[in-house]
């Protein structure tokens, strides 16, 4: 198979880190915000004032990687290992101005060499808004919009550079979300039938057993969402925010926090409706600002991080763009990072924003370039859109939690 090189030579990751607020400054800001913005554990869609705490332990720094070969947004990503044991970052996505090349490309970054190649094409090219999970050194793309993806399971093997198909999901959707715990993939929500004009948001969920290639039933979410951010601490499944609008648009952002216990097949959610939700006595704290399009929630150092996101400017309670109160850019993108501590059920505001504010990216946790064994992982954010609706960039960077 031919591999198209993305650059003329191999190199190391750019050493340009950004200087940020000191821990002392962040601690003072934490005290100020705790006094001015009391925590609010309520839920629902629309305006949400808190909690807007800043944690001194959540400072971050960003570094640049080589740009991707093609600009893509509404992407899916995963960390895998190459034949030599080196870490790889796989990115697929969509570019509405380059549907024949960028939208069909499987782009693979050799993290240590900081070098991109373009590899074999997936079975359903041109799809986007696909949930992605990596386990047993394979990448699983679930559902999607366009390209016939809405009821597909596409599987990539980086060693053989081969895509294959798994059992189709038990429901048809795009812009859903997925995580894995051990050898089970939990897949929830999305736009019904992948219908970008009339598709309703779904509460539907299903569990995929990787070893048996079977989809199993599980309880639906309390709240129907698409474009939500999903993550796991290895025990529970967390679903943050998203939208409950009809179709694929930036309207109706929500701030629900929904938590699933796989051992008991039970959900707990903010904005509790006890007639439909089986839950514990603790109501999860809602996401500080309603939004969708953040990609996965990354779990690191005992906390979840959700990055960026978008909203329809002028079409929601946030009003027009920009909105500096919520770090909303003039393009309708959130330049903010929020962190959730499941132990204390508290949200924190990360002092720094993103290197490049985006939506439709797919943050994933992986090793830093040429890092020693046991080193703290970093969060890769590559591609996405720098303005609301359809947009795509080539930028690739990673975030280190300090």
Beta bridge partners of residue 268, listed in sequence order: 259
Strand arrangement, sheet containing 214-217: 177-181, 184-188, 205-209, 214-217
* Predicted pLDDT of residue 335: 97
What's the total number of domains in the chain?
1
Distances (CA, A) of 379 to 7, 96, 112, 209: 23, 26, 15, 27
Question: Domain residues for 150?
Answer: 4-8+21-401
Residue 281: what pLDDT?
62
N-to-C CA span, the chain? 41
15 domain-assigned:
no
Can you tell me the distance from the alpha carbon of 154 to that of 122, in angstroms, rounded to the nearest whole number?
7
> Is residue 13 included in any domain, yes or no?
no
In a domain, 16, yes or no: no
- pLDDT tens, 141-178? 999 999 999 999 999 999 999 999 999 999 999 999 99
pLDDT at site 34: 36
How high is the pLDDT of residue 23? 39
In a domain, 33, yes or no: yes
Whether 305 is in a domain gets the answer yes
Check residue 104 and give its pLDDT: 97
Is residue 191 within 8 A of residue 174, CB to CB? The reply is yes
Residue ranges in the chain modelled with pLDDT below 70: 1-57, 272-281
Q: In sequence order, what E strands does 318-371 have? A: 337-341, 346-349, 364-366
Task: Say what the pLDDT of residue 271 is.
Answer: 77
Which structure tokens are listed for 168?
A: 């189709």
Determine the Cα–Cα distance for residues 281 and 291; give it in Å rounded to an integer.
26
In a domain, 340, yes or no: yes
| Residue-by-residue DSSP string for 377-397 | PEEEEE--BSSSSS--B--EE
* pLDDT digits 0-9 by tens, 16-63: 333 333 433 443 343 334 333 333 333 344 444 333 455 445 799 999
The CATH number of the domain holding residue 286 is 2.120.10.80
Q: CB-side exposure of 54: number of CA atoms within 13 Å?
A: 23
């Amino acid at each position: 198979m031919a591999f198209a090189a993305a650059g003329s030579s191999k190199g190391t990751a750019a050493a340009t880190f950004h200087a940020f607020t000191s821990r002392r400054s962040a601690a003072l800001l934490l005290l100020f915000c705790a006094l001015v913005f009391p925590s609010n554990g309520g839920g629902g869609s629309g305006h949400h004032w808190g909690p807007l705490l800043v944690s001194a332990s959540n400072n971050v720094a960003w570094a640049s990687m080589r740009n991707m070969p093609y600009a893509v947004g509404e992407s899916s990503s995963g960390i895998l290992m190459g034949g030599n044991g080196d870490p790889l970052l796989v990115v697929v996505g969509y570019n509405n101005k380059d549907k024949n090349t960028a939208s069909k490309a499987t782009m693979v970054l050799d993290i240590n060499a900081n070098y991109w190649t373009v590899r074999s094409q997936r079975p359903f090219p041109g799809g986007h808004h696909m949930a992605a999970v990596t386990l047993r050194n394979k990448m699983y793309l679930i559902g999607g919009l366009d390209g016939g993806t809405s009821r597909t399971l596409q599987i990539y093997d980086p060693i053989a550079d081969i895509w294959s198909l798994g059992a189709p999901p038990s429901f048809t959707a795009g812009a859903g979300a997925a995580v894995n715990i051990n050898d089970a993939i939990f897949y929830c929500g999305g736009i019904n039938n992948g219908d970008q004009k009339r598709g309703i948001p779904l509460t539907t969920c299903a569990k995929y057993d990787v070893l048996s290639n079977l989809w199993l039933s599980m309880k639906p979410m309390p709240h129907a969402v698409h474009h939500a951010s999903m993550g796991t601490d290895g025990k529970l499944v967390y679903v943050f925010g998203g939208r409950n609008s009809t179709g694929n648009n930036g309207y109706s952002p929500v701030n629900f926090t929904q938590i699933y216990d796989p051992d008991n097949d039970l959900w707990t959610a903010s904005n509790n409706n006890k007639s439909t939700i089986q839950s514990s006595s603790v109501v999860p704290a809602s996401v500080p600002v309603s939004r969708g399009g953040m990609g996965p929630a990354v779990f690191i150092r005992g906390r979840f991080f959700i990055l960026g996101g978008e909203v329809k400017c002028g079409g929601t309670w946030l009003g027009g763009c920009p909105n500096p109160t919520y770090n909303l850019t003039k393009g309708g993108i959130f330049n903010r990072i929020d962190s959730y501590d499941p132990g204390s059920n508290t949200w924190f505001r990360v002092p720094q924003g993103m290197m490049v504010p985006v939506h439709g990216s797919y943050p994933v946790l992986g090793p830093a370039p040429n890092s020693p064994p046991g080193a703290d992982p970093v969060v890769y954010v590559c591609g996405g859109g720098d303005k609301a609706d359809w947009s795509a960039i080539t930028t690739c960077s990673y975030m280190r939690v300090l």
